[in-house]
Structure 1
């Protein structure tokens, strides 16, 4: 199988990965599987990645187009044929640099190579009909006065146009309104940026920026965050960038960096990271503490803790101790000055990074997660010493996992209160009147995040 994959075209590799995704595989794992077995130049690797992630993200829109252009509905076609049509339509609709003739011809070739020789005329006809319809209405790939017919219902319209389930659109519209939700959808369909967090115990942001520039990788500072650099040009393999093996930096989105600043750990303290793996925030806490004190990194998945250990070793951090187990059952009562609960969540703030997450999450999984989050917050609050700090965070934009979890906790624990970030904290720039932080991607140009700092006090 490996020898066969090495010889395949980028579009055939994308087809193989997408076929696995439609059978239930995670998109990143399916993509990695084919890329590891194919010796491709960087341009072809980028094409395979774009096609796999793009077709996965946009599948609702692509299915709607197939339904409108074809005689059979998308769900009535063989899955592999539908995947081939997805690849063709995605290139025509969303890829400006791919000529229409190349998109059509390579898709017809895919049909031939994958058992649909008798349907090449259908594939060719459907794609060319799309091109004719675009020409008829004067549309371009970057704007959408095109063949896609949209319903009048505004939420369903956004769901089909930007390829999201209706329930996610509804959750966002209830919070932000239609216009803001549309901007959020646009942002979530962009290629995600890569942010680095510079390890100031080893180097400086200026030194890392200069090293990156020396190899042709452009970067820029992120406002309010002293350790953050955003890559603004193609970086290639991250592990080949200068400073990686020396522990100068790690990859971490800017909004995730805000969480540890909100926690504000101090040198010499005991800190518990209750849901630590794979360790981005754990290692950031250690850096902020100058690697002085003790950080207990808890997680119930040993394999994920191995990644944390390797990252800590690469960053040359020694203050982190590993604790394997579910934080709802660990015996750390009254032991920590500060506790971080970066809770498992639906990830609705990071859908641009996880192409298939919008299709995997459901209202039912959100309900289950909110129960878990409340249990975690309740139990880990007992880890905090009197007068200590507890930070709760998620990378989702769903009130049931954010505001409602915190409100429920405060109602049941009157000896806790919200403590807004201090004015000199990087997190203060994003604070809300309620005292918590809610990062909206389309406004702050970072992953969507919710975080709140809680302090225990006596006297009630």
Structure 2
């Protein structure tokens, strides 16, 4: 049996993510460019499903395999592990994929990688799994709840232990389960090309010209698409009528609430989602400064703004911690580097690439950036802090630390007046905007607050 290009690319991408710690979206984008003429839309969707599904369920799949095999899989090559994990994912979770194809092409992948001696081993393990003849007892749900959660929902034990200190068991089940679901395709309408009150006309155009069904959200700027859009230059995406952005991320722009004539700085501008939204909310009547130190993120932000037609931006390629503008900003959006533990469903590789000691150093970096923002902010100006995380060290701890150390120099501003009514439920009594995984609106996890400098 021959090996399809789609499966070969999926398995290679899985190896690149797990062994080389690369980002799956970047790996797949490079593969698509190299093999563009050979891949159809169905092939790309198939590849994405295998890669992201195998990443989401990696721990559980590995546990099944290790219980099936008499060998220590850690001593196998990365390609063998990829073939076994991705093959098992197809058998268990992809109903439309024949077990025979998943088994045989996984074997052919190993053969093509020059590891002929392992073909019999891979074939035997996957055929045994396909028969589903074995049952392996999980950790007891009552006696070992944390171990049960980590295995049942395929999350690293350190992360389950961490969240278990804050959340009830039932809440944990919902959060972890939600992390394993593909996120909805949420987009933000470019309000400078299509006013939000005319969103229905854009929906009609998407359906007529691109066969794209869409649903309105309580957030007027947001739509849910029924599948991933064509991101080529000729479609509505390429022509800048919308950009891909989760609802929780869109709400941060409303917290900024840029006013006419204000100087607004985005301290970490890449990849450009929040930057472009602030631009649109400012209706080109603000002075917008984009600060970014990472070359890749800087380039992505510029590409995003150019695609959307947003050209009136002052670009600063510099570390925010060293940036000292002559004209102090009225508002600073600090979308700080963070653990990203609120967006694991969107970036499932994070479960396996991040470690337990990730939180403290990032929280300290965030605190330095918060202090610097207050130093360069105009008196009476506002700091809008946000992270795609709901870890306490990255959110409420910073807010409390600000109150303790700067109580006479700052005041906490409630996000409530700036949010659409529907989303005010996500604001705590301490004026923290907090969205947790598994929320009822299927949004990413986020934390944010607003500080005004007296």
Instruction: Provide the C-alpha distance between the structure 2 equivalents of 1:422 and 1:23, rounded to a whole number of angstroms.
Output: 44
Question: Aligned to 2:320, what secondary structure does the other structure show?
Answer: coil
Instruction: Provide the C-alpha distance between the structure 1 equivalents of 2:327 and 2:96, rounded to a whole number of angstroms.
Output: 59
In the alignment, what sits opposite 2:203? 209
1:262-308 CA-partner distances (Å, limit 9, x unpaired): 11111211111111112211111111111112011111124422322
Does residue 304 of structure 2 align to residue 311 of structure 1? yes
In the alignment, what sits opposite 2:220? 226
User: Do the aligned residues in 1 keep the contact of 2:267 with 2:334 (CA within 8 Å)?
Assistant: yes
Instruction: Provide the C-alpha distance between the structure 1 equivalents of 2:25 and 2:95, rounded to a whole number of angstroms.
Output: 24
The Cα of 1:102 is off from its aligned counterpart by 2.3
User: Do the aligned residues in 1 keep the contact of 2:288 with 2:314 (CA within 8 Å)?
Assistant: yes
Closer/same/farther in 2, CA of residues 239 and 387 from structure 1, 3 Å limit: same
Instruction: Provide the C-alpha distance between the structure 1 equivalents of 2:359 and 2:283, rounded to a whole number of angstroms.
Output: 37
Closer/same/farther in 2, CA of residues 66 and 148 from structure 1, 3 Å limit: farther
Instruction: Map 1:321-400 onto structure 2 (within 5 A).
Output: 321-332=314-325, 335-400=328-393
Q: Could you tell me which runs of 5 or more consecutive residues in structure 2 were left unpaired when the two chains were aligned.
A: none
Does residue 432 of structure 2 align to residue 436 of structure 1? yes
User: Do the aligned residues in 1 keep the contact of 2:56 with 2:349 (CA within 8 Å)?
Assistant: yes
In the alignment, what sits opposite 1:454? 451
In the alignment, what sits opposite 1:265? 258
In the alignment, what sits opposite 2:144? 153
User: Do the aligned residues in 2 keep the contact of 1:334 with 1:382 (CA within 8 Å)?
Assistant: no
Does residue 422 of structure 2 align to residue 423 of structure 1? no
Question: Aligned to 2:361, what secondary structure does the other structure show?
Answer: helix
TM-score normalised to the size of structure 2? 0.90
User: Do the aligned residues in 1 keep the contact of 2:248 with 2:443 (CA within 8 Å)?
Assistant: yes
1:26-48 CA-partner distances (Å, limit 9, x unpaired): 12233233332222111111111
In the alignment, what sits opposite 1:193? 184
Of 164, 170, 189, 2:155 maps to: 164
1:150-172 CA-partner distances (Å, limit 9, x unpaired): 35521122112222111211222
Does residue 8 of structure 2 align to residue 9 of structure 1? no
User: Do the aligned residues in 2 keep the contact of 1:377 with 1:409 (CA within 8 Å)?
Assistant: no
Question: Aligned to 2:297, what secondary structure does the other structure show?
Answer: helix
Instruction: Provide the C-alpha distance between the structure 2 equivalents of 1:412 and 1:178, rounded to a whole number of angstroms.
Output: 35
The Cα of 1:395 is off from its aligned counterpart by 0.2
Closer/same/farther in 2, CA of residues 79 and 316 from structure 1, 3 Å limit: closer
Instruction: Provide the C-alpha distance between the structure 1 equivalents of 2:299 and 2:427, rounded to a whole number of angstroms.
Output: 34
In the alignment, what sits opposite 2:101? 102
User: Do the aligned residues in 2 keep the contact of 1:17 with 1:31 (CA within 8 Å)?
Assistant: yes
Instruction: Provide the C-alpha distance between the structure 2 equivalents of 1:431 and 1:446, rounded to a whole number of angstroms.
Output: 15
Q: Which deviates more, 445-454 or 358-367?
A: 358-367
Q: Could you tell me which runs of 5 or more consecutive residues in structure 1 were left unpaired when the two chains were aligned.
A: 1-6, 137-145
1:119-149 CA-partner distances (Å, limit 9, x unpaired): 4333233223223345x7xxxxxxxxx5463
Closer/same/farther in 2, CA of residues 241 and 21 from structure 1, 3 Å limit: same
Question: Aligned to 2:291, what secondary structure does the other structure show?
Answer: strand
Closer/same/farther in 2, CA of residues 102 and 174 from structure 1, 3 Å limit: same
The Cα of 1:334 is off from its aligned counterpart by 7.3
Q: Which deviates more, 237-246 or 151-160?
A: 237-246
Instruction: Provide the C-alpha distance between the structure 1 equivalents of 2:83 and 2:300, rounded to a whole number of angstroms.
Output: 36
Closer/same/farther in 2, CA of residues 81 and 418 from structure 1, 3 Å limit: same
Q: Which deviates more, 109-118 or 203-212?
A: 109-118
The Cα of 1:236 is off from its aligned counterpart by 4.2
The Cα of 1:398 is off from its aligned counterpart by 1.3
Instruction: Provide the C-alpha distance between the structure 1 equivalents of 2:299 and 2:14, rounded to a whole number of angstroms.
Output: 29
In the alignment, what sits opposite 1:32? 29
Q: Which deviates more, 105-114 or 34-43?
A: 105-114
Q: Aligned-pair RMSD on alpha carbons?
A: 2.2
Closer/same/farther in 2, CA of residues 424 and 29 from structure 1, 3 Å limit: closer
In the alignment, what sits opposite 1:141? none
Instruction: Provide the C-alpha distance between the structure 2 equivalents of 1:241 and 1:350, rounded to a whole number of angstroms.
Output: 30
In the alignment, what sits opposite 2:16? 20
Question: Aligned to 1:417, what secondary structure does the other structure show?
Answer: strand
Closer/same/farther in 2, CA of residues 429 and 239 from structure 1, 3 Å limit: farther
TM-score normalised to the size of structure 1? 0.89
Question: Aligned to 2:322, what secondary structure does the other structure show?
Answer: coil
In the alignment, what sits opposite 1:4? none
Instruction: Provide the C-alpha distance between the structure 1 equivalents of 2:127 and 2:182, rounded to a whole number of angstroms.
Output: 27
Closer/same/farther in 2, CA of residues 316 and 83 from structure 1, 3 Å limit: closer
1:165-215 CA-partner distances (Å, limit 9, x unpaired): 112112222222221122111111112222111122211322221111112
Closer/same/farther in 2, CA of residues 66 and 246 from structure 1, 3 Å limit: closer
Q: Which deviates more, 283-292 or 359-368?
A: 359-368
